[in-house]
Amino acid sequence: MSNPELNPYDEVAYPSLPIAHTHPDRLATVGMHFGMRPAPVERCRVLELGCSSGANLLAMAVGLPESEFVGVDLAGKPIARGKAMVEALGLKNLTLRQADLLEMAPDYGRFDYIIAHGLYTWVPAPVREQILAICKASLQPQGIAYVSYDAFPGSYSRMMVREMMLFHNRDFHDPQRQTQQAITLLKLLANSHTEPETYAKVVQDEFERLSKRSKEALYHDELAEVFQPV
Ligand SMILES: C[S@@+](CC[C@H](N)C(=O)[O-])C[C@H]1O[C@@H](n2cnc3c(N)ncnc32)[C@H](O)[C@@H]1O
């Protein structure tokens, strides 16, 4: 984080988008394949942890007007942007709240679906434990939680490149400079003839993947303070 006083997600806006595979329709289908009896998606309660500006829930709330959606995020600015969209669209079935998951009050009720996308890998251990504790305490008996995470061993290559960028950036504090320098470093390494070839290939692949991503996503996903695959 460039300014320790600022939440990085307030400082640089995260590109929040609908994520199709978190939709309750898909979660219910997967649950049924496991012999569960999930709540009908047309009338269900959905909680999203670390919802950013709520773009994911917003699309669901429009499509499922009889269902109720609640989104929680620590960062104030994305929640304020999301609330403005909810108001502009006149949505009555989506509530967005700014709250730290570690201090989340137990007054949210029970949910049929809980979503935590792009969160578990990027938060410290106590928050990771709290995500699972919230799922345990707040899911209905036939409720389904979706928690995405990065996994080893595949993530070792991502981690290696991340650590190179962080080392290179150790004296840069401005987010724009950090992302610019990170890409410059990767470009240099990707174009140099490093031995062994397998190592060079990892750097080239990561350079290709990251140069297609937005600067904001690069800043939050690759240069974040925490990146902990499991
Ligand atoms: C990488 S973003 C992912 C946003 C969205 N879920 C997505 O996949 O596009 C992680 C989000 O988690 C939020 N977050 C991190 N720690 C949190 C905490 N302790 N309590 C609530 N939200 C938190 C951040 O503010 C940020 O908006």
In this structure, the answer to whether residues 52 and 116 fall within a common structural domain is yes
CA 119/CA 148 separation, integer angstroms: 7
Strand order of the sheet with strand 68-73? 94-98, 68-73, 45-49, 111-116, 139-147
By residue range, what is the domain housing residue 33?
8-147
Q: What's the pLDDT score for residue 109? A: 93
Please identify, by atom number, the ligand 1 atom nearest to the C-alpha of residue 221: 1
Q: What is the pLDDT of residues 137-158, one digit of tens each?
A: 999 999 999 999 999 999 999 9
Pocket flag, ligand 1, residue 74 (CB < 6 Å): yes
Pocket flag, ligand 1, residue 116 (CB < 6 Å): no
Listed residues 125, 147, 169: the one ending a domain:
147
CA 86/CA 153 separation, integer angstroms: 40
pLDDT < 50: residue spans in the chain: 1
Listed residues 147, 170, 201: the one ending a domain:
147
Please identify, by atom number, the ligand 1 atom nearest to the C-alpha of residue 104: 20
In this structure, the answer to whether residues 32 and 92 fall within a common structural domain is yes
In this structure, the answer to whether residues 163 and 59 fall within a common structural domain is no
